């Protein structure tokens, strides 16, 4: 019963984590008009968030010695609530930037801590399902934001996001009081001892030699996923003439299909290898991006989301097979930092490229990034087979 309670609050935490990712892309065209900012100013927010995220994620190995997963999760949620409540009353863009520092730090604490915890304690199935709930949060937030914009503006939308995140934080406090996390932390220690014994019987890739490639895969993957999610609303509104309500369907569909895909792939994750699932996902994503670019249809967005769905959780879970347990906590932190760096770098570059070249340039760039991820993944798989 305690395990189900723990999984429940972890999954709810990932819903809270995903909500800001889906809301910002839709709200930005209205925010920038209210505050008199250019289109590419969005890159400032995403870059600041990513720097904060990277900084805290890279310290995961060190933080784990002083702070348990439960405390990291609660602190992260508290920072998110504070940041997005401040968003709802921010008088200018500078305040948004300052609050984004706290939002990025909170997201890094939640994301890195829970991914590290899940990779050590649960199978790929539960890892996929955890990330499925991130997709749920990211999918429902554009709908919530669109409705709040109609009722009272984007500020009301961010107040709603903060309220839902605060509810999850209260549930985390309840599980801490019940001692659920302490029980699971002790299981983590026992599992680590068992994995250490197994590590002596099998070969792993060198974290020093091959860890960079794994990090590069996360860098490109989040660059592709984040760019498509962040800029698709602007393309549909400013390039293809859609209304805010119509454009909200695209990011909502993308995140909903990520959620559905992760839920579905979770059922086969223990029967197919992570590599097999990732190959299927990358092929489906590539086709989806091509359909989206040529037809501008929601069907292409759905295919892209379904294909992207298993990539992040499977790539993260594959780390436990590629690298020794003694390197895993530190490497997970570095991987999450690389993911944040990818989001920041490509958000910044996309803002410059799309504003100077064409919003439609998004599609070939995302396609190329996906091909890069697939290539790196195959190289690492080949080197692991040789080992």
Q: Is the pLDDT of residue 141 over 90?
A: no
Q: Is the pLDDT of residue 384 over 90?
A: no
Assigned domain for 101 exists: yes
Q: Is the pLDDT of residue 188 over 70?
A: no
Assigned domain for 83 exists: yes
Assigned domain for 193 exists: no
Assigned domain for 194 exists: no
pLDDT digits (tens, 9 = 90+) for 264-281: 888 887 788 888 889 999
pLDDT of residue 85: 94
pLDDT of residue 387: 64
Q: Which of 325-329, 336-340, 369-373 has the highest mean pLDDT?
A: 369-373
pTM of the model: 0.74
Least confident of 11-25, 103-117, 130-144: 130-144
Write down the mean pLDDT value for the chain: 84
Assigned domain for 327 exists: yes
pLDDT digits (tens, 9 = 90+) for 225-262: 888 888 888 888 887 777 777 887 888 888 889 888 88
Assigned domain for 315 exists: yes
Q: Identify the residue with better confidence: 206 or 41.
A: 41
Q: Are 301 and 236 in contact (CB under 8 A)?
A: no
pLDDT band at residue 203, thresholds of 50, 70 and 90? low
pLDDT of residue 199: 46
Q: Are 103 and 80 in contact (CB under 8 A)?
A: yes
Q: Is the pLDDT of residue 163 over 50?
A: yes
Domain span holding position 111: 2-188+202-381
Domain count, the chain: 1
CATH classification of the domain holding 240: 1.20.1250.20
Assigned domain for 196 exists: no
Angular region, 204: left φ>0, alpha ψ -120 to 50, beta rest: beta
Q: Is the pLDDT of residue 296 over 60?
A: yes
pLDDT of residue 104: 92
Percentage of residues in the chain having pLDDT higher than 90: 28
Q: Is the pLDDT of residue 189 over 70?
A: no
Of 317, 339, 261, give the one whose Cα is nearest residue 126: 317
Q: Are 240 and 291 in contact (CB under 8 A)?
A: no
Q: Are 220 and 338 in contact (CB under 8 A)?
A: no
Cα–Cα distance, 212 to 201 (Å, whole number):
24
Q: Identify the residue with better confidence: 195 or 297.
A: 297
- Identify the residue whose tokens are 């892309």: 25
pLDDT band at residue 206, thresholds of 50, 70 and 90? low
Assigned domain for 197 exists: no
């Amino acid at each position: 019963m305690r395990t189900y309670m723990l999984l429940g609050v972890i999954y709810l935490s990932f819903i809270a984590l995903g909500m800001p990712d889906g809301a910002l892309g839709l709200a930005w065209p209205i925010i920038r008009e209210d505050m008199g900012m250019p289109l590419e100013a969005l890159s400032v927010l995403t870059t600041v968030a990513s720097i904060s995220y990277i900084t805290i994620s890279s310290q995961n190995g060190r933080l784990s010695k002083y702070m348990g997963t439960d405390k990291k999760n609660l602190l992260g949620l508290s920072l998110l609530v504070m940041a997005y409540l401040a968003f709802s009353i921010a008088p200018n863009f500078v305040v948004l930037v300052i609050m984004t520092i706290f939002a990025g730090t909170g997201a890094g604490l939640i994301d890195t801590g829970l991914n590290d915890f899940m990779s050590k304690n649960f199978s790929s199935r539960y890892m996929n399902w955890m990330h499925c709930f991130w997709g749920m949060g990211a999918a429902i937030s554009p709908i919530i934001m669109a409705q709040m914009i109609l009722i009272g503006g984007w500020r009301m939308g961010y107040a709603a996001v903060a309220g839902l995140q605060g509810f999850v934080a209260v549930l985390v406090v309840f599980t801490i009081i019940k001692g659920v996390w302490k029980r699971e932390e002790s299981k983590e220690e026992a599992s680590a001892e068992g994995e250490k014994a197994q590590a002596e019987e099998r070969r792993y890739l060198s974290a020093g030699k091959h860890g960079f490639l794994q990090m590069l895969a996360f860098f490109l993957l989040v660059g592709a996923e984040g760019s498509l999610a962040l800029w698709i609303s602007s393309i549909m509104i400013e390039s293809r003439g859609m209304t805010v309500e119509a454009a909200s369907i695209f990011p909502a569909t993308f995140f909903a299909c990520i959620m559905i895909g992760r839920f579905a792939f979770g059922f086969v994750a223990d029967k197919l290898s992570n590599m097999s699932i990732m190959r299927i996902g990358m092929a489906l994503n590539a086709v989806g991006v091509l359909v989206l670019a040529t037809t501008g249809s929601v069907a292409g967005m759905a295919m892209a989301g379904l294909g992207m769905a298993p990539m992040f959780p499977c790539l993260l879970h594959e780390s436990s097979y590629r690298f020794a347990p003694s390197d895993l906590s530190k490497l997970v932190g570095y991987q999450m930092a690389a993911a944040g760096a990818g989001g920041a770098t490509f958000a910044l570059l996309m803002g410059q490229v799309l504003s100077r070249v064409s919003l439609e340039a998004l599609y070939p760039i995302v396609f190329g990034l996906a091909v890069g991820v697939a290539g790196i993944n195959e190289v690492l798989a080949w080197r692991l087979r040789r080992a």
